């Protein structure tokens, strides 16, 4: 960023300001010329885009293929195995789109969290002074990043299916939960009146704990006096919702799973497809994140560690206070790429039957409506939007972590 500024400023300075400029001068003015060329280019691109759209529309009409987005209102007529919002086969295609999108977001969001945790652990382990740990981490990275993700999903999915018992021989777990090849079924909480108060208490206590921590840090910086903010904060977060819980009279009921003729009915089921996809994506992406973390830590100058040791910091403190904060600056930009990859790879769900956006929308909906252009355009726009949002968030995070230049 810094370099670009100087370059642009430099360019501006090279244009000598003249009192009167004719048309001829204007034509040779680099700034004007640049603007004119760019405007022309944008216009040409727009014209090309309009041409493609109108040509496609004409040809679709000629071939008698339906077009337009009216299909989103029509009844879908198919069922989806995992729905985070209310959905039935009488819902519309538009509703099916949201179901698919939420499923994608769920698996991508959780995948990002899990792969980051595993990636950081493995990345640090690769730098461990313990020979065995470092080698094991190395083996993990080399194996997992060299297997195509689709193959890994198949392997995990069928390994999961093969190792779980059939519904008749379901494993009975505590709390009336059942585990079988159809998934893990747990009692489904049904929230009653008053749950809002509990949630509000939780949110308020978290905010209060964070504020407390901030105040304690500022006081420590100003006066040097410590304050047990972490302990008190945790106690606050635990106590406030619990009190609200008791006072509102436990506002929750449970839909208990029961053995039915074919399978466990009722309850909340964690599908094996979801677990396979989540585990597969997380393990795969973690291998890349581990390498990024290792590179980031290795990229911090050795002198930093030595200086930290000279100041009397323990190895742990040196890592936490000196090395990792500097390493993060190297780690975050490539980390963004991995998050984007994971989100996009989640579309492999279609192969193992997890109802993500591509499966539900670019699969079943496309096939029922035959409107490939509209459906694919919407799907691509959604992935683009997801990528842009992820990038923006990570850029903001990166800016926060970046070296503050004074």
Partner 1 sequence: MKSILTTGLAAIVLAAVTAGPVLAQGTLQKVKDRGQLVCGVNTGIAGFSAPDDKGNWSGLDVDLCRAVAAAIFKDPAKVKFVPLTAKERFTALQSGEIDVLSRNTTWTMSRDTSAGMNFAGINYYDGQGFMVNKALGVKSAKELSGASICVQTGTTTELNVADYFRQQGMTYKPVVIEKLPETLAAYNAGRCDVFTSDASQLYATRLTLGSPADHIVLPEVISKEPLGPAVRQGDAQWGNIVRWVLFALINAEEFAITQENVDKMKDSTNPEVKRLLGSEGDFGKGVGLDSDWAYQAIKAVGNYGESFERNVGQGSRLKISRGQNALWRDGGLQYAPPIR
Positions in 182-241 near partner 1 (CB under 8 A): 182
**Residue located via tokens 């939780």:** 202
The reply on whether position 99 binds partner 1 by CB under 8 A is no
**Residue located via tokens 């903001």:** 396
The reply on whether position 355 binds partner 1 by CB under 8 A is yes
In this chain, which of 263, 282, 285, 338 binds partner 1, going by CB under 8 A?
A: 263
Run of H or E residues at 323: none
The reply on whether position 258 binds partner 1 by CB under 8 A is no
The reply on whether position 64 binds partner 1 by CB under 8 A is yes
The CA-CA-CA angle for residues 307, 309, 310, to 5°, reads 60
CB of 234 to partner 1, least distance (A): 41
The reply on whether position 102 binds partner 1 by CB under 8 A is no
Size of the site for partner 1 (CB under 8 A): 55
The reply on whether position 158 binds partner 1 by CB under 8 A is yes
- Nearest in space to 159 (alpha carbons), one of 352, 367, 363, 384: 352
> By C-beta, is 177 or 364 nearer to partner 1?
364
The reply on whether position 72 binds partner 1 by CB under 8 A is no
In this chain, which of 27, 39, 66, 203 binds partner 1, going by CB under 8 A?
A: 66
CA within 13 Å, CB half, 302: 0
The reply on whether position 333 binds partner 1 by CB under 8 A is no
What is the C-alpha separation between 108 and 277, in angstroms, rounded?
10
Buried b (16+ CB within 10 A) or exposed e, 325-340: ebbbebbbeebbebbb
Instruction: Name residues whose C-beta falls within 8 Å of residue 347's C-beta, 6 or more positions apart in sequence.
Output: 104, 356, 357, 358, 383
Instruction: Name residues whose C-beta falls within 8 Å of residue 55's C-beta, 6 or more positions apart in sequence.
Output: none
In this chain, which of 212, 236, 242, 373 binds partner 1, going by CB under 8 A?
A: 373
**The one segment of 298-306, 332-340, 350-358, 390-398 that binds partner 1 by CB under 8 A:** 350-358
What is the C-alpha separation between 368 and 96, in angstroms, rounded?
12
Run of H or E residues at 259: strand 258-259
Distance, CA of 218 to chain centre? 33
CB of 367 to partner 1, least distance (A): 4
**The one segment of 12-20, 27-35, 255-263, 282-290 that binds partner 1 by CB under 8 A:** 255-263
**DSSP classification of residue 263:** S
**The one segment of 13-21, 63-71, 234-242, 397-405 that binds partner 1 by CB under 8 A:** 63-71
184 DSSP β-pair partners: 179, 270
The reply on whether position 81 binds partner 1 by CB under 8 A is yes
**The one segment of 11-19, 32-40, 108-116, 349-357 that binds partner 1 by CB under 8 A:** 349-357
The reply on whether position 139 binds partner 1 by CB under 8 A is no
The reply on whether position 50 binds partner 1 by CB under 8 A is no
> By C-beta, is 87 or 245 nearer to partner 1?
87
The reply on whether position 69 binds partner 1 by CB under 8 A is no
**Token pair recorded at residue 290:** 């581990």
The reply on whether position 359 binds partner 1 by CB under 8 A is yes
What is the C-alpha separation between 199 and 240, in angstroms, rounded?
10
In this chain, which of 330, 350, 394, 401 binds partner 1, going by CB under 8 A?
A: 350
**Token pair recorded at residue 227:** 């304050």
The reply on whether position 268 binds partner 1 by CB under 8 A is no
**Residue 285 contacts residue 111 (beta carbons within 8 Å):** yes
In this chain, which of 128, 130, 265, 314 binds partner 1, going by CB under 8 A?
A: 265
In this chain, which of 125, 137, 348, 382 binds partner 1, going by CB under 8 A?
A: 348
CB atoms within 10 A of CB 88: 10
**Token pair recorded at residue 127:** 């730098």
- Contact residues for partner 1, defined by CB under 8 A: 52, 55-56, 59-60, 62-66, 77-81, 89-90, 154, 158, 161-162, 166-167, 181-182, 260-263, 265, 272-273, 347-348, 350-353, 355, 358-359, 362-364, 366-368, 370, 372-373, 375-377, 379-380
């Amino acid at each position: 960023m810094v370099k670009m500024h100087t370059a642009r400023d430099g360019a501006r300075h090279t244009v000598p300001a003249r009192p009167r400029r004719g048309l001829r001068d204007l034509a040779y003015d680099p700034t004007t010329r640049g603007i004119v060329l760019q405007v022309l280019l944008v216009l040409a691109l727009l014209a090309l885009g309009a041409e493609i759209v109108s040509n496609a529309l004409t040809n679709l009409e000629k071939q008698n293929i339906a077009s337009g987005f009216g299909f989103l209102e029509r009844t879908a007529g198919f069922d989806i195995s995992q729905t985070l919002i209310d959905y039935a086969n009488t819902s519309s295609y538009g509703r099916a789109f949201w179901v698919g999108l939420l499923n994608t977001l769920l698996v991508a969001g959780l995948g990002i969290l899990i792969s980051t945790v595993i990636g950081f652990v493995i990345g640090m382990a690769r730098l461990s002074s313990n020979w065995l740990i470092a080698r094991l981490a190395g083996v993990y990275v080399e194996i997992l990043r060299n297997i195509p993700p689709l193959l890994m999903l198949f392997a995990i999915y069928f390994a999961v299916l093969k190792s779980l018992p059939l519904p008749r021989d379901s494993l009975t777990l505590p709390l009336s939960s059942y585990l079988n090849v159809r998934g893990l079924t747990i009692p489904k909480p049904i929230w009653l009146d008053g749950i809002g108060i509990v949630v509000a208490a939780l949110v308020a206590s978290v905010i209060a704990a964070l504020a407390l921590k901030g105040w304690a840090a500022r006081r420590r910086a100003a006066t040097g006096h410590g304050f047990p903010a972490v302990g008190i904060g945790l106690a606050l977060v635990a106590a406030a919702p619990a009190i609200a819980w008791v006072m509102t009279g436990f506002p929750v009921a449970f839909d208990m799973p029961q053995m039915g003729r074919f399978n466990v009915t009722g309850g909340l089921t964690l599908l094996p497809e979801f677990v396979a996809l989540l585990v597969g994506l997380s393990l795969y992406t973690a291998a890349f994140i581990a390498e990024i973390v290792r590179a980031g830590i290795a990229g911090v100058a050795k002198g930093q560690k030595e200086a930290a040791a000279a100041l009397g910091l323990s190895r742990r403190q040196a890592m936490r206070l000196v090395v990792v904060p500097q390493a993060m600056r190297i780690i975050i930009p490539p980390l963004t790429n991995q998050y984007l990859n994971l989100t996009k790879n989640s579309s492999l769900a279609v192969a193992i039957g997890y109802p993500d956006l591509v499966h539900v929308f670019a699969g079943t909906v496309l096939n029922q409506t035959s409107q490939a252009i509209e459906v694919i355009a919407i799907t691509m726009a959604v992935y683009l939007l997801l990528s842009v949002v992820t990038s923006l968030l990570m850029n903001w995070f990166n800016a926060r972590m970046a070296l503050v230049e004074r």
